[in-house]
C-alpha cells in the first residue's frame, strides 16, 4: 500500500439548478463519496465538497419558464440535489451554493484584484454565443454553424464586455501540463487538452454579461452594468468553500485540492480556464483533475431532450441504494464511457451480489450457526498448517494491500473486481474444505472451527474493502459477524484475528435478494420498468384412487387440496452430482427437526457449490421415490421460463423448518 497522504480534498462539479438531478450527477458524487470514505477509513483528514451552480442564463430561463424568480428556482431545485445525496448515502463535508454570500464575496474580491492588475480589460466582442453552454465561440470554432460542444444553434452577438487575459498563459499552461503528468487524468485527456492548446491560438476569456441581456449573476465590483460569466463564478467555488480570502488557516489546510472529479464534457473549462485563472491569482494548482466518461444508452449519451435519462430515485426505489452505488462503481472504467441498461444492472447484481457475496455470506453464517453454536469460533494463525487456509488468507491480505494503489490510480472498478475475486475464492474454499463432511468425522471440531474462522476473517476483509461502496449493507454484514464497530479500520485489515472468538453472530436476512431477469425490460426514460406477465404452465391430473389431485374442467383445484401440500424451508447442507446423470444433483438438506436427502434435476442450472447454505422451499410430505437408484425424500420448488430455471427461495432468513403458506 502506498504511503498515506497527509490530507485528502475531493470535489465534484457544482451542478446547475435548472432541472432535477440525473444519473450523471449521481455517478460523479458517488465516486467522490467512495474516495472520501476510503481515505477517512485510513485515518486521513478528508474534506469532500459538492454543491450547486445557481447563476447564469440557463437558471434564469428555467425560472422564467416556471413563472418564479431565479432565487426561487434555485431554492426549489437545490432541495432535489440535497435529498438525493441523502438517499444515496453521500457523506459530503460541505455543500456550497454560489448564491451564498461567502462565495459571492470571494468572487467579487478576486475580480477586483485581477482588474486592478490589468488581468481583466474591457473591449467590444463580436461572435457567436451558445446559451446551453453559456460560452462564446468564433466563426471557425463552429461545426456546421452550430456549437462545437453541444451541437445547439448559436446566436450572433455584438456587445461590449470584460475579458480575462487568458491568452498570455497559453505557453505556460502547455509547459505545466507536460511537466506534471498527473495533473490531468486519464493521460489521454491531458493529450486532448494539449492538442487544443498546441493547435489553436488561445483567446482571452469573456468574463462578463451585460445586465441588459442577463441580470442573474454576481455583479462586477468595478462596473454595476455587468454580471460575472457563470463559469468564472462557478470555478471559484473550489477555493471559496475552503476559506480563500476568508480563513487563511483553513485554506492552507485543504488547498491544493487532491482531486477535482469532472465529466469529460467540462474538460476545457477545468483544464484551461481554471488553471489560467489560478495562475493569474497566484494560487497553487490543484494536484489532479480527473475527467470520467459518460453514461450511454446504447451508443447515445443520456440526454433530457432525447428522453433517455435514468432517474436515480427510481433505481433506488426499485433495487436499493447500495446495489445502485455498486453497479455504477463496478460497471464503468474511470475515464471511459459505459452503457447503462437495466438488463446489465440486473445481470451484475445477480452475479456479483446475490450469487457471490450474498451466497458466501449465508454459507459462512449458517455453518457457524450449525457447527459452532452461533458464535465466532476460536482460532490461532498456524494452528492447522494447511495450504488451503494459507492461500485464502494470503489472497485476502494481498487485495487489502493492493487497494491503496488502485484507489490512488483511480481504478475503482478494478478494485471492486479484485475484492469480488476473493469473495468467489471463499466460496471455492468452503467447497474444497467441506466443513459439512468434516462434521461426520470424529475429532474434527478444531479443524472445522479453524476453517470457518478463516472464511469469516476473509469475509470481514471483503466487507471492509467494499464498505466505501456499499456502506449500509457492509455495516449490516460486519454486525452479523459480531463486530461492534460497523465502520472498519482499513489500516488493520491484514491482521489475522479481527473477529473476536465467542462473539455471537446474527442473521442479517437476505442482503441481496435475487432479481428475476424475466421481469426486467429494456431501460426507458422512466423507471421502474413495466412488469411483463409471467408465463405459467397449468398442470392438471386425473383423479386417482390414492387421493391424487383431482382434475376439473377448468383445471382448478380446491383450497383443501392446496392445504394438503406441506411446504417447508430447508437449508442445503451438502450437494453433489450423481454419477451417470447429467441433470441430477443429490442434496442433503436440514428441515429443522430432521435431515433429508433430495434428488433434483437442476444440475444444468446450478453448480453443487452454489447451493450449499441456500434456504430453499421443499414439498415435505411427498412420498419418497428413487431416481437413478438414489432415494429422494421430497421435492424442491423451482420456477422455469424457456431455458431458464431458478430455485424458489424466501426473502429474509427464516432458517430451516419454517412453514410456507
Intervals of CATH 2.40.50.140 along the chain: 545-647
Strand partners, 588: 574, 597
CATH superfamily of 8-296: HUPs (3.40.50.620)
pTM of the shown model: 0.77
Alpha helices by DSSP H, 559-660: 559-563, 608-611
More confident residue, 421 or 155: 421
Q: What is the pLDDT of residues 413-423, one digit of tens each?
A: 999 999 999 99
Average model confidence (pLDDT) across the chain: 86
Of 137-146, 227-236, 242-251, 420-429, which gets the smallest average pLDDT? 137-146
Decide if 620 contacts 564 (C-beta within 8 A).
no
Give the pLDDT score at 383: 67
Mean pLDDT of all residues in 121-148: 82
How far is residue 188's CA from residue 386's CA, in Å, rounded to a whole number? Answer: 47
Say which residues have a Cβ less than 8 Å from residue 164's Cβ, sequence separation at least 6. Answer: 114, 119, 120, 204, 205, 206, 207, 232, 276, 277, 280
Going by pLDDT thresholds of 50, 70 and 90, the confidence category of residue 128 is confident
Intervals of CATH 3.40.50.620 along the chain: 8-296
Q: What is the pLDDT of residues 171-182, one digit of tens each?
A: 999 999 999 999
Say which residues have a Cβ less than 8 Å from residue 112's Cβ, sequence separation at least 6. Answer: 221, 222
Taking domain 545-647, whether its CATH number is 3.30.413.10 is answered by: no
Most confident by average pLDDT, 101-110, 339-348, 529-538? 101-110
Secondary structure letter of residue 495 according to DSSP: S
Taking domain 319-492, whether its CATH number is 1.10.287.3510 is answered by: no
Give the pLDDT score at 2: 59
Of 265-269, 342-346, 517-521, which gets the smallest average pLDDT? 517-521
Q: What is the pLDDT of residues 389-443, one digit of tens each?
A: 999 999 999 999 999 999 999 999 999 999 999 999 999 999 999 999 999 999 8
Mean pLDDT of all residues in 188-201: 95
Intervals of CATH 1.10.730.10 along the chain: 319-492
Taking the CA atoms of 376, 380, 381 and 384 in sequence, report the sign of the dihedral they define: negative
Decide if 218 contacts 225 (C-beta within 8 A).
no
Amino acid at each position: 500500500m502506498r504511503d498515506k497522504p497527509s490530507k485528502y480534498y475531493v470535489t465534484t462539479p457544482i451542478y446547475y439548478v435548472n432541472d432535477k438531478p440525473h444519473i450523471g450527477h449521481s455517478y460523479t458524487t458517488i465516486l467522490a463519496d467512495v474516495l472520501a470514505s476510503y481515505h477517512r477509513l485510513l485515518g486521513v483528514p478528508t474534506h469532500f465538497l459538492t454543491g450547486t451552480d445557481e447563476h447564469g442564463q440557463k437558471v434564469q430561463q428555467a425560472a422564467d419558464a416556471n413563472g418564479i424568480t431565479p432565487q426561487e428556482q434555485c431554492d426549489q431545485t437545490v432541495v432535489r440535489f440535497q435529498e438525493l445525496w441523502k438517499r444515496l448515502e453521500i457523506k459530503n463535508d460541505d455543500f456550497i451554493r454560489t448564491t451564498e454570500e461567502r462565495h459571492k464575496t470571494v468572487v467579487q474580491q478576486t475580480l477586483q484584484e485581477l482588474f486592478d492588475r490589468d488581468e481583466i480589460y474591457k473591449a467590444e466582442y463580436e461572435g457567436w454565443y451558445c446559451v446551453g453552454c453559456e460560452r462564446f465561440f468564433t466563426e471557425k470554432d463552429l461545426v456546421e454553424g452550430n456549437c462545437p460542444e453541444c451541437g445547439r444553434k448559436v446566436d450572433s452577438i455584438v456587445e461590449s464586455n470584460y475579458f480575462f487575459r487568458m491568452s498570455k498563459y497559453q505557453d505556460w499552461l502547455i509547459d505545466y501540463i507536460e511537466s506534471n503528468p498527473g495533473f490531468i487524468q486519464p493521460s489521454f485527456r491531458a493529450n486532448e487538452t494539449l492538442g487544443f492548446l498546441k493547435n489553436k491560438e488561445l483567446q482571452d476569456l469573456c468574463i462578463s454579461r451585460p445586465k441588459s441581456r442577463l441580470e442573474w449573476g454576481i455583479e462586477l465590483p468595478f462596473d454595476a452594468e455587468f454580471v460575472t460569466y457563470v463559469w468564472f463564478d462557478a470555478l471559484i467555488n473550489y477555493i471559496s468553500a475552503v476559506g480563500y480570502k476568508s480563513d487563511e488557516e483553513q485554506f492552507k489546510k485543504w488547498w491544493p485540492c487532491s482531486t477535482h472529479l469532472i465529466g469529460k464534457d467540462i474538460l476545457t473549462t477545468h483544464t484551461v480556464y481554471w488553471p489560467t485563472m489560478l495562475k493569474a491569482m497566484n494560487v497553487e494548482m490543484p494536484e489532479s483533475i480527473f475527467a470520467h466518461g459518460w453514461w450511454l444508452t446504447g451508443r447515445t449519451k443520456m440526454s433530457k431532450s432525447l428522453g433517455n435519462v435514468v432517474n436515480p430515485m427510481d433505481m433506488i426505489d426499485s433495487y436499493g441504494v447500495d446495489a445502485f452505488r455498486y453497479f455504477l462503481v463496478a460497471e464503468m472504467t474511470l475515464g471511459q464511457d459505459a452503457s447503462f441498461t437495466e438488463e446489465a444492472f440486473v445481470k451484475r447484481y445477480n452475479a456479483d451480489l446475490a450469487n457471490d457475496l450474498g451466497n458466501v455470506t449465508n454459507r459462512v453464517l449458517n455453518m457457524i450457526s450449525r457447527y459452532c453454536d452461533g458464535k465466532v469460533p476460536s482460532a490461532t494463525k498456524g494452528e492447522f498448517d494447511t495450504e488451503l487456509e494459507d492461500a485464502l488468507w494470503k489472497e485476502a491480505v494481498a487485495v487489502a494491500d493492493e487497494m491503496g494503489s488502485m484507489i490512488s490510480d483511480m481504478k475503482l472498478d478494478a478494485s471492486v473486481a479484485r475484492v469480488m475475486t476473493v469473495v468467489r475464492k471463499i466460496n471455492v474454499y468452503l467447497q474444497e474444505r467441506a466443513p459439512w463432511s468434516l462434521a461426520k468425522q470424529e475429532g474434527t471440531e478444531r479443524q472445522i472451527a479453524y476453517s470457518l474462522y478463516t472464511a469469516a476473517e476473509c469475509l470481514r476483509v471483503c466487507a471492509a474493502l467494499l464498505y466505501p461502496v456499499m456502506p449500509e449493507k457492509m455495516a449490516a454484514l460486519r454486525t452479523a459477524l459480531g463486530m461492534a464497530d460497523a465502520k472498519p479500520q482499513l489500516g488493520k485489515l491484514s491482521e489475522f484475528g479481527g473477529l473476536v472468538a465467542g462473539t455471537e453472530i446474527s442473521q442479517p436476512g437476505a442482503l441481496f435478494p435475487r432479481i428475476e431477469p424475466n421481469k426486467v425490460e429494456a431501460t426507458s426514460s422512466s423507471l421502474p420498468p413495466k412488469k411483463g406477465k409471467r408465463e405459467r404452465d397449468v398442470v392438471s391430473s386425473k383423479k386417482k384412487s390414492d387421493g391424487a389431485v383431482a382434475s376439473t374442467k377448468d383445471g382448478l383445484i380446491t383450497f383443501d387440496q392446496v392445504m394438503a401440500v406441506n411446504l417447508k424451508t430447508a437449508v442445503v447442507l451438502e450437494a453433489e452430482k450423481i454419477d451417470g446423470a447429467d441433470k441430477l444433483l443429490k442434496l442433503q438438506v436440514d428441515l429443522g427437526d430432521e435431515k433429508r436427502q433430495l434428488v433434483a434435476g437442476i444440475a444444468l442450472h446450478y453448480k453443487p457449490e452454489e447451493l450449499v447454505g441456500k434456504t430453499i422451499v421443499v414439498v415435505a410430505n411427498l412420498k419418497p421415490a428413487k431416481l437413478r437408484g438414489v432415494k429422494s425424500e421430497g421435492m424442491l420448488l423451482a420456477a422455469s421460463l424457456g431455458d431458464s430455471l431458478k430455485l424458489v427461495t424466501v426473502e429474509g432468513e427464516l432458517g430451516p423448518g419454517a412453514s410456507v403458506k
